[in-house]
Amino acid sequence: MNVIETAGLGKCYGKSWALRDCTLTVPEGSLAALVGPNGAGKSTLMNMAVGLTLPTAGTATVLGGQVIRSPAALNDIAFMAQDAPVYKSLSVADMLHLTRNLNRRFDADTARARLADLGIPLKKKTGKLSGGQQAQVALTVALARRPRLLILDEPLSALDPLARQDFLATVMTAMADDGVSVLLSSHALAELERVADYLVVLGGGELRLAGAVDDLLAEHRVLTGPAAGTDQFAAQLSAVQVKRAGAQAHLLVRDGGPGRTVPPGWESHPVGLEELVLAYLRPAGGGTPSATAAGSRTELTEVPR
């Protein structure tokens, strides 16, 4: 079953497309990392998935074909927007009470127990909590709704490294104990590399890459070899990215699974998640944009995908 499925999905504001022609599936049971620069369309996609924004084009369903904004879908999805949304004038206990009264399903006992384990006092106003504690309160409220799909929009951006680790540990525990599927938007690639098993890359309002992390890493590799004749060689391999440093070239290519041969004079190396994401986020299109790093002679050339 797919917890999110879109076909040609798009959202236009005036004459500007925030997201266009997005065809995507996110499988059940995964922690899907949604990555891309600011303005890539990540929040737009999430807002449409939870029904806060209506699409301009295309279709989207959730949780095995449920209509977005239907009562069944709304009951089974929890959404945590950016900036740990809590009412800062309310105490933690009042936050739980308010959320319980606004939802058909809310496990207040488990929520209180989780907050006690985290050392977060119920009587304290949420505005007086640390950023990490506010994020944990918002996450606890979301999980107390017993969702099947948890959507998190940049929950790690304001957290220190320890708070990020604690937050992600809570998410992973919910996945293991309750079978929650997760779509998590973040710029924190180092943390995502440790926890994500599915990857969605958006850039310029378009879907650049999607798939199981292990499969994507296995399908890509970096080839290192002589810079001479690289352009023709890169075109033959449909290279995603070409870097040149003097007489040496580095090609990131996507060329399938095991049994791949390495051309004479070249060496093959595995690719990491961060390197893969950044390669797909470089400018793409009909031209061959290039950039020269400050203080070096390293040229970066994009081959059209």
User: Encoding tokens for residue 268?
Assistant: 């093959």
Distances in Å between the alpha carbon of 195 and those of 56, 159, 192, 269? Answer: 33, 17, 5, 23
% pLDDT > 90, the chain? 62
Backbone phi, then psi, for 203, in 5-degree steps? -150, 130
Q: At how many degrees (to 10) do helices 108-117 and 131-143 cross?
A: 150
pLDDT value of position 199:
97
3-state helix, strand, coil in the chain (%, to 5): 30, 30, 35
* pLDDT over threshold 50, residue 296: no
Q: Please give the average per-residue pLDDT across 143-169, as a whole number.
A: 91
What average pLDDT does range 270-278 have in this prediction?
92
Q: Which of 285, 276, 244 is nearest to 33 (CA)?
A: 276
Tell me what pLDDT residue 168 has. 93
pLDDT value of position 283: 53
pLDDT-above-70 percentage for the chain: 90
The pLDDT value recorded for residue 259 is: 62
pTM: 0.86
Res 262: pLDDT = 78
CATH number of the domain located at residue range(s) 2-204 in this protein: 3.40.50.300
Quote the pLDDT of residue 300. 33
Confidence of residue 295 (pLDDT cuts 50, 70, 90): very low
- Tell me the pLDDT band of 256, cut-offs 50, 70 and 90: low
Q: Provide the strand spans (E) within 75-233.
A: 77-80, 149-153, 181-185, 198-203, 206-212, 220-226
Domain span(s) for CATH 3.40.50.300 in the chain: 2-204
Work out the average pLDDT over 204-226.
Answer: 93
Q: Please give the residue that has the higher pLDDT: either 213 or 156.
A: 213
pLDDT greater at residue 52 or residue 303: 52
Given this model, what pLDDT does residue 236 score? Answer: 77
Express each pLDDT in 71-129 by its tens digit: 989 899 999 987 767 888 999 999 999 999 988 899 999 999 999 999 999 999 999 99
